[in-house]
Chain A
Amino acid sequence: MATKGIVKGIIANLVLVEANGPVAQNEIAFIDVGDTKLMSEVIKVVGINTYVQVFESTRGVKVGQEVEFASHMLEVTLGPGILSRNYDGLQNDLDKMTGVFLKRGEYTYPLNKEKEWDFTPIAKTGDTVEAGSWLGQVTENHQLHKIMVPFTFKGSYTVKSIADADNYKIEDTIAVLSDDENKDIQVNMIQKWPVKKPIKAYNNKPRPFKLFQTGYRSIDFYNPLLEGGTGFVPGAFGTGKTVFQHTLSKQSEADIVVIAACGERANEVVEVFTEFPEIIDAKTGRSLMERTCIIANTSNMPVAAREASVYTAMTIAEYYRSMGLKVLLLADSTSRWAQALREMSNRLEELPGQDAFPMDLSAVIANFYARAGFVKLNNGDSGSVTFIGTVSPAGGNFKEPVTESTKKVARCFWGLQQQRADSKRHPAFSPLDSYSKYIEYPEFHEWVKKNISEDWIEKINEAKTIMQRGTEVSEQINILGDDGVPVDYHVTFWKSELFDICFLMQLVYDDIDRNCPLDRMEYMLRIIMDICNTDFEFTDFNEVATFFRSLINPIKQMHFTEFKSDEFNQYLVKVNRIIDEKKKNI
C-alpha cells in the first residue's frame, strides 16, 4: 500500500510532510493542493518528518493537505520518439502543453502513444537475454532505435516469443520473456528509469582512446576531447560559452546530441528551437533537430526541477548509448545546477561549505561526470556519452567551488579568458591554462598513430612549447622594451602569434572556417609548424613584425577558402614565396 502523508510545514519550495509509512530517499510524492497535484522529491527524513523539495511553486500550499508517495524515484520514460522533442527538466513534453504560460501541476506524457513504429526483431525465440539486450529495432527519424530489455530486469531471461516485423505502437507487446522460474513477462517499447541512478547495462567501461571530433582546431588538435570523455568550459559572461555549445551541437561528430539548458536564458533555447530544424547536417542530409533532444529548464523555471534537468538529460544520453550510439551531452550551465543544490542545502539548514555551497558539492559533481564514458556493450558493440559542461564562475574568477570541483573530475579544461575575448581572439580558450589529460593516454597515442600520423602527439607538445615561449618572451619585451631584447626574442614572440592567429583562432561565423576536418587541420598544421621551425634572417625587430604580419593574412585567407581549391593554392604559393625571401641560407 502506498504511503500517505500530511503537510506539516512550508519553507519556500521545501515542504515538511508527516508520513504514515515507509518512505525512501528521493522518492516522488504528490501534494494535493485542491485543483492540482504538485510533484516533489524526498530529500531528507528526520523521524516521522519527511522533507520534500517541490518541483513547482508552493504558493497556496497549506498545512494539513494530503500527500501521496509514489513508491518510485524521479523517473524518465524511455522509448522511441524522444529525439526532436523539447522537454522540461522533468521530461514533460513542452509542445503538448496548452496555453502561453506554464501551468503549475501540468504534466504531459513525453512520448507519443498513437504513433506507429516499423519494428524489426533482432532477438530470436529461445535467445537468452539480459537487461539492455537488443530485442528489435525501429527507425526513429533516420537512426536505428534499439528496443531493449528493460534496464531494471535482473538476471537472464529467455525470449519466449518476439513480434514479427510490422508497425506497432509503443504500448504494444513486442516480446514475451520468461524468467528462470518460467514466469512470462511482456515487454513493450517503453521502459522507465530513475534519473539519479546510472544505467549500467553494459559489459565494461574502458578508458577513452578515440578522438571525438568537434571541428575546433584548438580542441581537436591542441587539447583533444575523446569519445566518451569529459570536458568543461568555464568563462565569465560574454566570453563565448553559448556560441561554443551551439557550434558543438551543430557540427560535432555525434549521432545524438542531448542539450540540457539548465538555468539559462529562454531566448537561447528559442534560438535552438528556431534554427536547428532549418540546419541540414552535412553528414546525414537531415535536419539537425532530428538528432537533437532538448531539456529546457530556463532560469525562471522552478529551481528544484533545474537540479533534476541535468539528470534527466544524462539518463536519456545513457539510454541512447546502450543502443551503440555516439551521444554528446551538453549542459549549460552546471553552475546553475550547483546553485540549485545550494538553495536547497540552505533551506535544509545544512552547515555550508565554501561560498555557501553544500559540503558534498565536489562529490555530486564527480558522480555526475562519472556517468559519461565509452562503454563496451554486452553484445560486443560499443557506445559512448561524451559530456561537456559549462561553468559560469562568479565574477569570472576560476578560484570558486564549482570550477575547482569540476577541475578535479573533468579530463579536459578549456578555460575562456576574458582578455582574449575582449581582443576578439575566438575561441577564447586560454592557450596556456587549458589542458586535456587525454594527451597523456597511451591508448590515444596508439589510436593517433594508426589514424592520423606518427608524430601528432609530438606536434601537440611542440605547439604548446611555442605558445609558452611566446608568452615568456612577450613579458620580457614588455619589461625591457622592443630594442632592449635580442631580435630572436621578437622572432619567438611572432612565431607564437602566428600559431595563435593562424591556427588556434577560428571564425565560427565563417561557413568554411567554422568546421575544420582532420585532414585539413593536419595540412594547415604542417604549414604553420614548418614556419615555426624555420630559421629566418632579420636585421631588426621592425622587420620581424612586418614579415610575420605579411604571412598571417594569406594563411588566414586559406582558412576561409575551399580546401585545395585554386584560390587556396594561390594563397599557399604566396605564403611560400614570403617564407623563401627571409629564409636563412644554410
Chain B
Amino acid sequence: MAKAFQKIYTKVIQLTKATVTIKAEGIGNEELATINGQLAQVVKIIGDEVTLQVFGGTEGIPTNAEVIFQGKAPVMKVSDQLAGRFFNAFGNPIDGGPAIEGQEVEIGGPSVNPVRRKQPSELIATGIAGIDLNNTLVTGQKIPFFADPDQPYNEVMAMVALRANADKIILGGMGLTNDDYLFFKNVFDNAGALDRIISFVNTTEDPPVERLLVPDMALTAAEYFAVQKHEKVLVLLTDMTLFADALSIVSNRMDQIPSKDSMPGSLYSDLAKVYEKAVQLPDGGSITIIAVTTLSGGDITHAIPDNTGYITEGQLFLRRDADISKVVIDPFRSLSRLKGQVMGKKTREDHSEIMNTTIRLYADAANAKTKLENGFDLSEYDERTLKYAKEYSRDLLAIDVNIDTTKMLDVAWKLLSKHFTLDEVAIRKEMMDKYWKK
C-alpha cells in the first residue's frame, strides 16, 4: 500500500515545553507527525492552527522546524513475531532485532462490546498463598499492587507472571529504572520464558510523556493475541502512578484546570480506558492486567490510588512482617473482587471457609499484639493466636511460598488444629468432619 500523503510544514507559531503549534490544513485529530525527527501527536485543532504534543519534549525545536504529518493515528504492527521482543514506547525494537512485520492496527482502539464479554471464571494459580488462598485471581481480572516504593513489587509481579501459566506475558514498563528493566529481562531470560514475553519499556532515561503510549502499545499487542489467537494474555503495567504523573504533566501544559491532587479531571476515564481492556472472551482468549500503583506513605486517598480502586477489581497490599522478617501479602487490606467466581467452585469446597477462619484468627492475633503493646496481660488464647499468626505468616502469607491451592488448604487445617480447639475454629460441621486433623 502506498504511504500516506505527507505534508511538510515549517511555520511554527507557538512553542511550549511540551507542545508545538503550527499552521496546517487537512490534519486529522490525534494524527501523528514528526517534528525535526521527534514524534508528536495532534491534540488540538482550531481553524488552521494545529497543536501537537511532542512526546520527547520540545528542547531544541526551532521555530523553523520541519513538521511531517503521517496521515494516521499511532499504529503498531502486530503478528506472532512480537513474541520474545523488547520495544520502546513507540513500538520500535530496542533489542537489536529486526522490525516487526504484520498487520497494522491503531493503538488505543475501541472497547469490547460488553455483551460480547464473558463472566471471568478461570482461576490463575500463582503459588503464592497470600494471593491464591486469600485473594484468588481470575483470568480477565484487573488488579493492582498498592505498594510503597521501597517494597519489592516488581519482584513479586515477575514471580506471579512466570507462574501464572499464561500463553503470553506482556510487560508495559513506565518510568522503569534501567536496573529494574534489566532485572525483568534477566528473570524472564533465566526462566527460559523469553519466547512468550513481549516488553514495551519506557525507562527513567526516556522523556516522561512518552510513557503515555506504553499501556496502549502493550494492550494492543495483548488484544491481538487474545482476540485473534484466543490466547491467555497477562499484561503487567508498572508503574501506573508514573503514567498518571505524565497525564498531569500534559494536562498542565495544555492549561487545563486541575482537579484533586493536581491530577487532570479526566483521570478516572484515562485510567479506566487502560484497565477496562482486561477482558474474558467467550472463546477462551483473555487479557488479565496486573499493575503497580506506588503510594506515597501508604496513602490510598490520593487521587491516583483512589480512582484506581474504583476501576480495578480489588487490590493487593504488600507488607513487611516483622515476625518473620519477610514480605507478606496483607490479608486485611488486600481484596480480589472476583475471587467468589472461583473459590470453592474451581478449588476445594472448604476454600472460602478456611480463608475466612484463618484471617479471623489472624485478626485476633493482631488484637492480642495491640494488647501486648499497650501493656495488658495476655490470656492463654491470646498467646496461642500469636504463635499461630507467626506460623500462618511464615507458611502461607510470605511471598516466597510456592505450593498449590489444595496444599495451602491442608497447611491451613494443620495450623488450625495445632493451635486451636474445634469450638474456636467454628467451621461448619460437615467440613470439620472431613478435614479436621488431630
Q: Which of B48, B115, B119 contacts A271 (CB 8 A)?
A: B119
Chain A residue with the shortest CB-CB distance to B301: A395
Contact with A along B258-278 (1 / 0, CB 8 A): 111000011011001100110
Secondary structure class of chain B's binding surface, majority of residues: loop
Interface magnitude class on chain A: 35 or more
Q: How far is the CB of B52 from the nearest CB of chain A, in Å?
A: 13
Q: How far is the CB of A568 from the nearest CB of chain B, in Å?
A: 20
Q: A271-B119, A273-B115, A355-B259 are in contact. Are A299 and B28 (CB under 8 A)?
A: no
Q: How far is the CB of A109 from the nearest CB of chain B, in Å?
A: 16
| Residues of chain A lying within 8 A (CB to CB) of residue B217 | none
Q: Is B338 an interface residue (CB 8 A)?
A: yes
Q: A267-B338, A346-B265 are in contact. Are A101 and B111 (CB under 8 A)?
A: yes
3 smallest CB-CB distances across A and B, nearest first, come from: A395-B301, A299-B272, A300-B276
Q: How far is the CB of A461 from the nearest CB of chain B, in Å?
A: 35
Contact with A along B9-41 (1 / 0, CB 8 A): 000000000000000011111110000000000
Q: How far is the CB of B40 from the nearest CB of chain A, in Å?
A: 15
Q: How far is the CB of A310 from the nearest CB of chain B, in Å?
A: 16
Contact with A along B43-57 (1 / 0, CB 8 A): 111111000000000
Q: Which of B25, B46, B115, B265 contacts A86 (CB 8 A)?
A: B115
Kindly name the residue among B25, B31, B112, B279 whose own CB sees the greatest number of chain A CB atoms within 10 A. B112
Q: Is B323 an interface residue (CB 8 A)?
A: no
Q: Is B303 an interface residue (CB 8 A)?
A: yes
Alpha-carbon gap, A343 to B270, bound state (A): 11
The stretch among B160-168, B304-312, B395-403 that forms the contact with chain A is B304-312
Contact: A301 with B115, CB < 8 Å?
Answer: no
Q: How far is the CB of A496 from the nearest CB of chain B, in Å?
A: 21
Q: Is A586 an interface residue (CB 8 A)?
A: no
Q: Which of B43, B116, B269 contacts A303 (CB 8 A)?
A: B269
Q: A9-B46, A62-B27, A103-B110 are in contact. Are A300 and B259 (CB under 8 A)?
A: no
Besides A267-B119, A356-B259, 10 more A-B contacts (Cβ < 8 Å) are A11-B44, A101-B109, A104-B110, A263-B268, A266-B279, A274-B118, A298-B276, A343-B265, A396-B306, A397-B301
User: What is the size, in residues, of chain B's interface with A at 8 Å between Cβ atoms?
Assistant: 56
Contact with A along B105-146 (1 / 0, CB 8 A): 010011111111111100000000000000000001100000
| Residues of chain B lying within 8 A (CB to CB) of residue A263 | 268-269, 272
Q: Is A479 an interface residue (CB 8 A)?
A: no
Q: Is B335 an interface residue (CB 8 A)?
A: yes
Q: Is A392 an interface residue (CB 8 A)?
A: yes
Contact with B along A320-345 (1 / 0, CB 8 A): 00000000000000001001001100
Contact: B46 with A16, CB < 8 Å?
Answer: yes
Alpha-carbon gap, A270 to B273, bound state (A): 17
Q: How far is the CB of B338 from the nearest CB of chain A, in Å?
A: 7
Q: Which of A12, A299, A395 contacts B276 (CB 8 A)?
A: A299
Alpha-carbon gap, A99 to B113, bound state (A): 8
Contact with A along B200-225 (1 / 0, CB 8 A): 00000000000000000000000000
Q: Is A97 an interface residue (CB 8 A)?
A: yes
| Residues of chain A lying within 8 A (CB to CB) of residue B113 | 94, 97, 99-102
Alpha-carbon gap, A438 to B118, bound state (A): 41
Q: Is B313 an interface residue (CB 8 A)?
A: yes
| Residues of chain B lying within 8 A (CB to CB) of residue A102 | 110-113
Contact: A300 with B73, CB < 8 Å?
Answer: no
Could you list 30 A-B pairs, sorted by A, with CB under 8 Å? Answer: A8-B46, A8-B47, A11-B45, A12-B43, A12-B44, A16-B46, A59-B28, A63-B47, A64-B25, A94-B114, A99-B116, A100-B113, A101-B112, A237-B306, A237-B310, A238-B309, A270-B114, A270-B117, A270-B118, A271-B119, A273-B114, A298-B111, A299-B272, A339-B269, A342-B265, A355-B260, A356-B257, A356-B265, A394-B306, A395-B303
Q: Is B281 an interface residue (CB 8 A)?
A: yes
